[in-house]
Structure 1
Amino acid sequence: MKSAVETLNPTRVRLTVEVPFEELKDSLDAAYSKINQQVTVPGFRKGKIPARLIDQRFGRGAVLEEAVNDALPKLYQSAVEEGELNVLGQPEVDITELKDNELLAFTAEVDVRPEIEIPDYSGIEVEVEAAEVSDADVDEAVEQLRERFASTTAVERAAAEGDVVKVDLEARIDGEVLEDGVAQGVDYTIGSGELLDGIDEAVTGLEAGGSATFTSELKGGSGAGREAEVAVTVQTVSARELPELDDEFAQLASEFDTLEELREDSRKRLADQKKQEQATQAQEKVLDALLELIEVPVPEKLLADEIESRKHNLVNHQLGQLGLDLESYLKMQDKSEEEFDAELKEQAEKGIRTQFVLDELVSKEKLNVSQEELTEHLMRRAQSSGMSPDQFAQAVVEGGQVPVLVGEVARGKALATVVEAVTVKDTAGEVVDLSDEDAEEAEEGAEAEQAPAAEAADEAGKTES
């Protein structure tokens, strides 16, 4: 077999392959054997029909077609390996010549990973928010905890902001009650903004048994995104009572004996949280700065597949679970379809570029993934998916997705390597030391940027092995 590689552009090549006919012998034998099992000729047992008779009865062309279909994948893979190509996706194959007992020639156009030159990135400098915890931050955290331990008492007065009302709701569009537009006994805290726009004004001032109507745009269900007339009836009005901020509250709400101990624990938790947020912000900014330094051409087919994958995931999973369609979502976001498509393309392109760059860094830095690192990552992914680690691991193995997880961990380590090499300062001008942070945050940051690009590219990359 002879093969040659022609570069069509930085992300696409054309393979030209010529195969002497004798190299098709195994595939021809397999073709005759397959046809033998599928056809019947009087006077011959199934599987015992001579090859010459198959040619006479069913045509040599049918045999050649079956043989070529059997041989092409293996011949293509051999040409890929010979050309040392890093291919993406399925090739477009065109048989250019087929001479019986002489020659098979074909071309295969396929996308390839672009060659990327990683520059010196040690000069990158980014600024992040300072990880400072103020007394006001601690006050807010303690107040949120206090809110969780609030009690309610039924009152015989008009509802006011902060009260909890139990209400019945009925939504109508064009005078017709929606099938999913009726709800009874819904608890709502006035001023929380957790239900429909306009409900605060409607129920404020109503006593138990009082009713009102208001107009609001529905956020979900069959009428999502449409204006509806909503009737609301108040069943009960309850006042919320907050516990006193004292040592007794600290003992009720925590394992601490004093309010001061509770406040100090809150300060420590906030400091840890802000440190994590600072690390995440640093990774995002470092990644953006790194991508600006590198020219990364993106294969058109891979980009199109990635855009479609993201759109499908949004429409059929995320919005579907909320009872929304794309039109309603765009209306809520105040975006045109053109703006949405442009944003989706930008996000998809960045995801693919991120994966290509981090994969190149993995190769350049010779980064490996240990079993312990893979297990830790699997545990985090299982937790975020709502599955048990055993269930998630089984799904990953059965779906052949282990290489995907390995890639996610490796890319996270690659991004962590870059973050450690650059300068990160906070808004106060102080250098931020992220050395105590492990690769977990970087791993999740890299994964967020390139997912679901990872899924599309890894699916496409199955032809690499």
Structure 2
Amino acid sequence: MKSAVETLNPTRVRLTVEVPFEELKPSLDAAYRKINQQVQVPGFRKGKIPARVIDQRFGRAAVLEEAVNDALPKFYTEAVNEGELNPLGQPDVDITDLKDNETLTFTAEVDIRPELEIPDYSGIEVTVDAVEVADEDIDKAVDQLRERFASTTVVEREAADGDVVKIDLEARVDGELLEDGVATGVNYTIGSGQMLDGLDEAVTGLAAGGTATFTSELKGGSGAGQEAEVSVSVESVSSRELPELDDDFAQLASEFDTLEALREDSRRRLSEERTYQQATEAQEKVLDALLELVEVPLPEKLLAEEIKTRKHNLEHHQLPQLGMDLDAYLKLQEKTAEEFDDELREQAEKGIRTQFVLDEIARRDELNVSQEELTEHLVRRAQSSGMSPDQFAKAVVEGNQVSMLVGEVSRGKALASVVESATVKDTNGEVVDLEDEDETEGEEAGGTADAVAEAAEANEAATTGEQGDAKSNES
């Protein structure tokens, strides 16, 4: 077999492959055996039909087509390996010449990973929010906890701000009651703003048995994004009483004996939360700065598939769970279809560029993934998916997605190395130390991998470098 590689652009090549006919013999024999098992010819037992009879009855061309389709993936893979290529996705194969008993010639166009020049990134500097916890923040956290332990008492009066009302709702669009536009026995705290715009004003001043009608834009369901006429009736009104802020409350709401200890724990939790947010912000900003330094050609076919996949997932998986379609989502987001498409393309481009750059750093720096690191990341992904580690591992293996997880961890390690070499300061001018309290390498890698997983997830299968099966399109 002979093969030649022609570079069409930085992300696409054309392979021209010439195969001597004798190398087709194993596939040709297999084709005869397969046809033998599928057809019957009078005078011959099934599976014992001579090749010449098959040629006469069904045509030599049919046998050749079967043989070529069987052999193409093998010859394509050999040509890829010979050319030391790193293909992305499926090739476009065209049989240019097939001479019986002489040669098979075909071409295969395929996207490849571009060769990247990673410059010195040690000079990257970013600024992130300082980790600060004010007394007001602690007051707010304790008040939120206090709200959870509030008691309610039914009262015989008109509803006021802060009261809990039990209500029934009906929503109509253009006078028609929506199929999913009825809700009964809903408890709602006036002033929370957690349901429909205009609801607070409608129920304020109503006593049990009172009704009101208001207009509001629906946020979910079949009428999401549409103006609806909403009828509300009040079943009951309850006043809310908050517990006193004292040591008794601390003992009721937590494992602490004093209110002061509870407040200190709130301070600690808030500090940890904002430290994590600070680390995430640093990773995102360092990644953006890194991408600005590297020129990354994008395979148009891969990009188109990535955009298509993201849009499909949104329309057919994410939005239906929220009870809305794309039109309602665009209205809710106050975006045009063109703005949405531009934003989707931008996200897809960043996802692919992120993966290419971090993969190259991981390859260049030989950032291998240990079994321990892979296991830690698998457990973390299982938790986020709501599955047990065993269930998640089984799904990963059955879906041939082990390489996906390995890629996530190696890219996490690559980003971690870039962040480590960068200078990160907070808004107070202080240098930020981003090392985890638990300094195990696996947790560092896994945590950073999670930070970039969203950017790389959708295009993962297309960009793992798997060659796939070549399909022939005879000219």
In the TM superposition, 1:188-337 aligns within 5 A as 188-337=188-337
TM-fit CA distance, 1:462: 4.7
Say if 1:309 and 1:456, in contact at 8 Å, map to a contact too.
Answer: no
Q: What SS is found at the alignment partner of 1:367?
A: coil
> Taking structure 2 as the reference length, what is the TM-score of the superposition?
0.95
Give the AA of the match of 1:61: A
Give the Cα–Cα distance (whole angstroms) in 1 for the partners of residues 168 and 102 of structure 2.
82
Give the AA of the match of 1:454: E
**Match of 2:101?**
101
Of 376-385 and 321-330, deviating more is: 376-385
Unaligned runs of 5+ in 1: none
Give the Cα–Cα distance (whole angstroms) in 1 for the partners of residues 298 and 125 of structure 2.
26
TM-fit CA distance, 1:228: 1.0
- 1:14 corresponds to 2:14: yes
Say if 1:424 and 1:431, in contact at 8 Å, map to a contact too.
Answer: yes
Q: What SS is found at the alignment partner of 1:282?
A: helix
Give the AA of the match of 1:463: G
Residues 231-274 of structure 1: CA deviation (Å, up to 9, x unaligned): 10011111111111111111111111111111111111111111
Give the Cα–Cα distance (whole angstroms) in 2 for the partners of residues 59 and 318 of structure 1.
51
Say if 2:167 and 2:232, in contact at 8 Å, map to a contact too.
Answer: yes
- 1:441 corresponds to 2:434: no
Residues 353-393 of structure 1: CA deviation (Å, up to 9, x unaligned): 00111111110111122222222211221121122222222
Give the Cα–Cα distance (whole angstroms) in 2 for the partners of residues 97 and 59 of structure 1.
18
Q: What SS is found at the alignment partner of 2:92?
A: strand
Give the Cα–Cα distance (whole angstroms) in 1 for the partners of residues 420 and 231 of structure 2.
58
Give the Cα–Cα distance (whole angstroms) in 2 for the partners of residues 464 and 364 of structure 1.
28
Give the Cα–Cα distance (whole angstroms) in 1 for the partners of residues 371 and 151 of structure 2.
49
Residue of structure 2 aligned with 1:452, choices 450, 458, 462: 458
Say if 2:88 and 2:462, in contact at 8 Å, map to a contact too.
Answer: no
TM-fit CA distance, 1:451: 2.2
Give the Cα–Cα distance (whole angstroms) in 1 for the partners of residues 215 and 29 of structure 2.
75
**Match of 2:121?**
121
In the TM superposition, 1:367-386 aligns within 5 A as 367-386=367-386
Say if 2:412 and 2:446, in contact at 8 Å, map to a contact too.
Answer: yes
**Match of 2:136?**
136
Residues 395-449 of structure 1: CA deviation (Å, up to 9, x unaligned): 1111111111111111111111111111000000010011236234321111122
Say if 1:12 and 1:299, in contact at 8 Å, map to a contact too.
Answer: yes
Q: What SS is found at the alignment partner of 1:405?
A: helix
Q: What SS is found at the alignment partner of 2:95?
A: strand
Residue of structure 1 aligned with 2:466, choices 445, 449, 461: 461
Give the Cα–Cα distance (whole angstroms) in 2 for the partners of residues 389 and 95 of structure 1.
46
**Match of 2:441?**
none
Say if 1:86 and 1:464, in contact at 8 Å, map to a contact too.
Answer: no
Give the Cα–Cα distance (whole angstroms) in 2 for the partners of residues 104 and 136 of structure 1.
77
Give the AA of the match of 1:403: S
Say if 1:87 and 1:464, in contact at 8 Å, map to a contact too.
Answer: no
Give the Cα–Cα distance (whole angstroms) in 2 for the partners of residues 112 and 36 of structure 1.
40
Q: Structure 1 runs of 4+ off > 4 angstroms?
A: none
With over 3 angstroms needed to count, the CA separation of the structure-2 counterparts of 1:432 and 1:22, relative to structure 1, is: same
Say if 1:279 and 1:441, in contact at 8 Å, map to a contact too.
Answer: no
- Work out which structure has the larger RCO, using CA pairs closer than 8 Å and 6 or more positions apart in sequence: 2
**Match of 1:86?**
86
Say if 1:37 and 1:46, in contact at 8 Å, map to a contact too.
Answer: yes
Give the AA of the match of 1:453: N
Give the Cα–Cα distance (whole angstroms) in 1 for the partners of residues 191 and 460 of structure 2.
42
Say if 2:303 and 2:349, in contact at 8 Å, map to a contact too.
Answer: yes
Say if 2:376 and 2:446, in contact at 8 Å, map to a contact too.
Answer: no
Say if 2:27 and 2:70, in contact at 8 Å, map to a contact too.
Answer: yes
Give the Cα–Cα distance (whole angstroms) in 2 for the partners of residues 462 and 189 of structure 1.
57
- 1:63 corresponds to 2:67: no
Give the Cα–Cα distance (whole angstroms) in 2 for the partners of residues 427 and 157 of structure 1.
51
Give the Cα–Cα distance (whole angstroms) in 1 for the partners of residues 378 and 87 of structure 2.
27
RMSD: 1.4
TM-fit CA distance, 1:187: 0.4
Give the AA of the match of 1:93: V
Identity level (%): 76
Give the Cα–Cα distance (whole angstroms) in 2 for the partners of residues 464 and 249 of structure 1.
66
